[in-house]
Amino acid sequence: MITYDAIVIGSGITGGWAAKELTEKGLETLVIERGRNVEHRKDYITEHKPNWQFPLRDARLAVGTQGAQEYPIQARTGQFHESVKHFFIKDHRNPYIEDKPFTWIQGDQVGGKSLIWGRQVYRWSDLDFEANLRDAHAVDWPIRYADLAPWYSYVERFIGVSGERLGLPQLPDGEFQPPMEMNAGEKFVKAGLERAFPDRRLTIGRVAILTQALNGRLPCHYCGPCERGCSTGSYFSSQSSTLPAARATGRLTIIPNSVVHSLIYDAAKNRVTGVRVVDTTTNETREYSSRVVFLCASTLATTRVLLNSKSARFPEGLANSSGVLGRYLMDHHFVVGASGAIEGLLDRYYQGNRPNGIYIPRFRNLGDDASRRGDYVRGFGYQGGASREGWARGGSEAGFGVELKRKLHDPGRWTMGLTGFGECLPRADNQVQLADQTDEFGIPLLRIHCTWGENELAMRKDMAASAAEMLEAGGCKEVRTRDAYKEGELGGEPGLGIHEMGTARMGRDPRTSVLNAHNQAHDVPNLFVTDGACMTSSSCVNPSITYMALTARACDYALGELKRGNL
Amino acid sequence: MSRASITRRQALEQAATLLGGALSAPTVAGVLSTATRRAWAASPRWTPRTLSPAQLELVATMAEHIIPQTDTPGARAAGVHRFVDTLLSDHYAATERDRFLAGLADVDARAQSAHGQPFARCSPEQRIMLLKEMDARAYASGRGDDGWFFRRLKELTVVGYYTSEIGAMQELHMSPFGAYRGDIPYTSVGRAWS
């Protein structure tokens, strides 16, 4: 068995960070990745390709289309297009059982979903870290904003975040590069909205895309579809940022095409001593050992590994003496909001494909009387943007011929949309378990049970109504609300937010949580979980930067513990 | 494009946001892949894989009426009919493909009953009359199944044309790489970005 100082399972957003931190601190580190290798630049095979070079013109490959045949689950997200299909997993390689609709979107490559993520980054605040304690759901976080604030800064300085400082307590400012510009429609709506609601702000999205050069990475050139890969490294991905840093230390080894079956546990030492891997090309089993293991395989994959690592000491899954492993699964609920049209501004336009939208920070249940809601707890934020209608409107209106062609020569009217992203309460009955069936690698399938609860459904009503109210206040006409969620159907189901989190939560008490304040398993000192599985509550903001900050902080702690001889 | 479920991409697109971007601009003229050549190149060896020659001509004729040649080439020159054949062959589920083919047959049936010959052999005036009827019915309030075929054909014509090199680069133009400018006079641009 080959031995390393550290093993990191997964090479996505958190695995890349763990690899960078651990190697830079001097540890010989092995990164185990289930998917194929993807090399920065060389493997961005669709980057900058014009649409006419795609046989289907970069069609969305929806469920039921021929291109979705091997991807019946991945095709549920509208992000699944002809141009980025190769960065999603073929579903037969990651089968699971859904009791109710739950969409599990996965990458299957080095870099994981960091290649195709939404890149929106927002710090949590104590409104989030104290939420469970304040309204008595689940358990209290073992950390507060002050514990994580320096690590947010550390991460932001490395990944590069552009955004506007607002001074809001519920959405702390970070180390920002200059913000991207809002367009004329957004500026127009912002003015009316902030006049009508002085407590609300409309800002440009805070995004892990450079507006200034950083560490050899170039500022964004506004080609548009980041998710095809970016040769200038303008958005943060493992490929553009963390893996090169780790590689530069000379202490990084990455093995792709290796899915982790389980962790090997030594009860006498009470330590994880190794990792059991199935080679996805040969189906052969291999083992690796290390002094410390970081699980960064993505929320559900991580918990699946733990559940499948059974021993006499841990018959229900490794580090699961509490029995909460697999429970308290969350996602953000969305696909709810409003859109409307702006009259006028027809002499205003924009240039460049800005891969970013606007953001309206949370304004409900902030702890004061004015923002308190009686019908639900927690809150939501909006993402959205304005644009002028393009040629696509030609297919949805009557008329053809020279008249139609002449009409589509000019852009149409301005429209503006807002989509809410809402916090999901941690509930014990939203959970994953191992099923009896196994996949082609001999690993038991996950059975996923997850539904939106009453709190989410009550919040959605406000998310639609408030979006409409703000658009109207912002001067929009023909405002329409929409909510795509239908119980038991696809459209707004859990998982679709691709912010799945929880199932191996952090907490103060080993009897009710899996991980401590440093993402270290209460039960097994040399085991760390720093991806979304660790989350104790969900906030309403995009989670990735919090995972990154937690990972960097946990690596720092693990190094200290190694030096102190505690691991 | 078919839309079986509402998704994040759609949500954001429908909400008119720019997250994820829509189109990219070309850097250099890339080498066409085999699949792309098969689908796109207007080579004399290209043959349809789903449409019959008569159906292909019907699609090309209707598409050219929808987006005709003006001072820039129209749908036929942009190869919209080849795009439609590619979608029918490589994208649509069988039921959707068959529904589209039935719609084509219905167009000829209407032309036969109104003018005694298939659509492509009708005079331009007769064709435009037929198209006007179909267009009015397709976009009348309610938007029933009745107008499905014509709406779909028009959508495909518009998508096929404006994502072609002719539509994207000659009729419209593509946003250049470089800076993003969010609030500029439309007169400085002059036509829509593709």
Give the closest of A48, A62, A415 to B26, CB-based.
A48
CA separation for the pair A148, A353 (Å, rounded): 34
- Roughly what angle, to the nearest 10 degrees, separates helices B53-66 and B80-90? 120
Give the closest of A52, A80, A355 to B165, CB-based.
A52
State mean pLDDT over A49-67: 96
Q: To the nearest whole angstrom, how far is the Cα of B173 from the nearest Cα of chain A?
A: 10
Give the pTM: 0.94
Residue that is written with structure tokens 């559900």 in the block = A300
Instruction: Identify the pLDDT of residue B41.
Output: 54
Q: Where are any strands of DSSP class E within A346-390?
A: 348-351, 358-360, 380-388
Q: What is the residue-averaged pLDDT of chain B?
A: 83
Instruction: Identify the pLDDT of residue A422.
Output: 98
pLDDT at A85 over 70: yes
DSSP, collapsed to helix, strand or coil, labels residue A71 as coil
Say what percent of chain A tops pLDDT 70: 100
How far is residue A526 from each of residues A253, A265, A561, A562, measured CA to CA in Å? 20, 11, 9, 9
Cβ contact B181–A350 (<8 Å): yes
Instruction: Identify the pLDDT of residue B42.
Output: 63
Give the closest of A228, A357, A397 to B139, CB-based.
A397
> Which one, of A232, A244, A289, A292, lies nearest residue A111 by Cα?
A244
State mean pLDDT over A100-124: 98
CA separation for the pair B80, B77 (Å, rounded): 8
Are A458 and A447 within 8 A, CB to CB? no
Burial A95-133, CB ≥16 within 10 A → b, else e: bbebeebbbbbbbbbbbbbbbbbbbbbbbbbbbbbbbbe
Q: Does A486 touch chain B (CB under 8 A)?
A: no
CA separation for the pair A379, B134 (Å, rounded): 48
Are B68 and A402 within 8 A, CB to CB? yes
* Model confidence pLDDT, tens digit, residues A473-503: 999 999 999 999 999 999 999 999 999 999 9
For residue A226, the chain B residues in CB contact (below 8 A) are: 20-21
Mutate which: B24, B61, B150, vs A, most A CBs within 10 A: B24
For residue B94, the chain A residues in CB contact (below 8 A) are: none
Instruction: Identify the pLDDT of residue A1.
Output: 73
Q: Does A372 touch chain B (CB under 8 A)?
A: no
Mutate which: B2, B3, B6, vs A, most A CBs within 10 A: B6
Mutate which: A49, A57, A60, A212, vs B, most B CBs within 10 A: A57
* Model confidence pLDDT, tens digit, residues A242-284: 999 999 999 999 999 999 999 999 999 999 999 999 999 999 9
> Chain A residue closest to B151 (CA)?
A395
CA separation for the pair A56, B156 (Å, rounded): 11
Task: Phi first, then psi: give them for residue A5, nearest 5 degrees.
Answer: -70, -45
Q: To the nearest whole angstrom, how far is the Cα of B97 from the nearest Cα of chain A?
A: 11
* Model confidence pLDDT, tens digit, residues A188-234: 999 999 999 999 999 999 999 999 999 999 999 999 999 999 999 99
Beta-sheet pairing, A161-162 with A96-98: unpaired
> Chain B residue closest to A225 (CA)?
B21
CA separation for the pair A515, A507 (Å, rounded): 6
Q: Does A183 touch chain B (CB under 8 A)?
A: yes
How many contacts does A have with B, using Cβ atoms within 8 A?
Answer: 314
Maximal C-alpha separation, chain A? 81
State mean pLDDT over A379-386: 98
Categorise residue A529: left if φ over 0, alpha if ψ from -120 to 50, beta otherwise.
Answer: beta
Residue that is written with structure tokens 């669709």 in the block = A46
Instruction: Identify the pLDDT of residue A287.
Output: 97
Rounded to 5°, the CA angle A235-A238-A239 comes to: 80
CA separation for the pair A498, A547 (Å, rounded): 14
DSSP, collapsed to helix, strand or coil, labels residue B100 as helix
DSSP, collapsed to helix, strand or coil, labels residue A30 as strand
Q: Side chain identity at A331, as an amino acid letter?
A: D
Cβ contact B33–A53 (<8 Å): yes
B40 pLDDT band, cuts 50/70/90, is low
Q: What was the ipTM of the complex prediction? A: 0.95
Cβ contact B186–A355 (<8 Å): no
Give the closest of B15, B19, B32 to A339, CB-based.
B15
pLDDT at B99 over 90: yes
| A:18-47 residues touching chain B, CB 8 A cutoff | 47
pLDDT at B1 over 90: no
Element (H, E) at A341: strand A336-342
